[in-house]
Amino acid sequence: MKNVTLSLDDETYRRARMTAASRNQSLSALVREYLQSLADEDQTPDDKATALFSALDKAKNLRADARLSRDEAHARARLR
């Protein structure tokens, strides 16, 4: 992972820190997420599908039979 140094005016820094805190993130995580979203916008649809399937392949404990039944899903919705 690379380190990057940024220069921000005080107000931008303050607002970014507040945004990160409201999301329970560090400022670094907020900037990283933003930059990743910019990089993802440049992907072609085929690249996005490949990235999606790659992420699904890496996901652990992701099983279709582990989903809620229809009745369980409706019961959860009533609790909200």
Mean pLDDT of 1-16: 89
Residue 70: what pLDDT?
77
Residue 11: what pLDDT?
92
Q: Measured between alpha carbons, how far is residue 8 from residues 15, 16, 27, 47 in Å? A: 11, 10, 12, 33
pLDDT for residue 7 is more than 70? yes
Mean pLDDT of 47-65: 71
pLDDT for residue 30 is more than 80? yes
How far apart (Å, rounded) are the C-alpha atoms in residues 5 and 56? 33
Helices within the chain (DSSP H only): 10-22, 27-41, 45-58, 70-79
What is the model's pTM?
0.49
How far apart (Å, rounded) are the C-alpha atoms in residues 16 and 26? 10
